[in-house]
Amino acid sequence: MRNVLPILTVVAVLLGVWYLAVAPMNFRLALDAATRGGADVTPATPDEQGQTGLIRLMLDNPSVMPAALSFERPRLPQPQAVVVEIYENTIGLARNCEWQGFGGERDNWSPLSDGCLRVIENRRSLIFHAWQTLAPTLLGFAIGTGLGVLLAVGIVYNRTMDLSVMPWAIASQTIPILAIAPMVIVVLNAVGIQGLLPKSLISSYLSFFPVVVGMVKGLRSPGAMDLDLLRTYSASGAQEFWKLRLPSSLPYLFASLKIGIAAALVGTIVAELPTGARFGLGSRLLTGSYYGQTVQIWAALFMAAICAALLVWLIGAVEKRTLTRLGLVR
Amino acid sequence: MSQDTVIKAEGLNLVFETNDGPVHALKDVDLEIDKGEFVSFIGPSGCGKTTFLRCIAALETPTGGGLSVNGMTPDEARRNRAYGYVFQAAGLYPWRTIAGNIKLPLEIMGYSRADQESRVKNVLELVDLEGFGKKYPWQLSGGMQQRASIARALAFDADILLMDEPFGALDEIVRDHLNEQLLQLWARTNKTIGFVTHSIPEAVYLSTKIVVMSPRPGRITDIIDSPLPKERPLDIRDTPEFLEIAHRVREGLRAGHAYDD
A interface test, pick of B96, B102, B104, B139 with most A CB neighbours within 10 Å: B104
Confirm or reject contact between A232 and chain B (CB < 8 A): yes
pTM reported for the whole predicted model: 0.81
Of residues B59, B84, B91, nearest to A226 (C-beta) = B91
Does B57 contact A232 at a Cβ distance shorter than 8 Å? yes
Range with lowest mean pLDDT among A62-76, A305-319, B126-140: A62-76
Assign A146 to helix, strand or coil. Answer: helix
How far apart CA A32 and CA A50 sit, in angstroms, is 10
Asked if the model's pLDDT at residue A102 lies above 80, the reply is no
ipTM of the assembly?
Answer: 0.87
In chain A, what residues touch B84 (CB-CB under 8 Å)? 232
Q: Are A203 and A136 in contact (CB under 8 A)?
A: yes
Distance from the Cα of B35 to chain A's closest Cα (Å) equals: 20
* Chain A contact set for B136 (CB, 8 A): 327
Residue B93: list chain A partners with CB under 8 A: 226, 243-244, 247
Contact A275, A182 (CB under 8 A): yes
pLDDT reading at A12 higher than 90: yes
Among the ranges given (A1-10, A84-93, A157-166, B85-94), the one the predictor scored with the smallest mean pLDDT = A84-93
- B89 and A225 within 8 Å at the Cβ level: the answer is yes
- The torsion angles phi and psi of A123, rounded to 5 degrees, stand at -70, -10
| Cα separation values, A137 from A98, A230, A308, Å | 29, 40, 10
CATH match for A126-325 among 3.10.20.440, 1.10.1060.10, 3.40.50.1000, 1.10.3720.10 = 1.10.3720.10
Q: What is the pLDDT of residue A117?
A: 59
CB contact under 8 A, A330 and B95: no
Q: How confident is the model at residue A103 (pLDDT cuts 50, 70, 90)?
A: very low
Q: Where are the domains positioned within chain A?
A: 4-74, 126-325
Task: Give the model's pLDDT for residue A107.
Answer: 54
Q: What pLDDT band is residue A100 in, cutting at 50, 70 and 90?
A: low
Residue B99, Cβ density class (10 Å: 0-12 exposed, 13-18 middle, ≥19 buried): buried
The residues spanned by each domain of chain B are 5-82+160-256, 93-157
Residue of chain B minimizing CA distance to A242: B108
Inter-chain touch B104–A232, beta carbons under 8 Å: no
Contact list in B for residue A225 (CB cut-off 8 A) is: 87-89, 91
The pLDDT > 90 percentage for chain B reads 22
* Top-tier CATH class for B5-82+160-256: alpha beta
> How wide is the angle at C-alpha A194 spanned by C-alphas A193 and A200, nearest 5°?
95
Nearest to A232 among B78, B88, B107 (CB): B78
Q: What is the pLDDT of residue B1?
A: 47
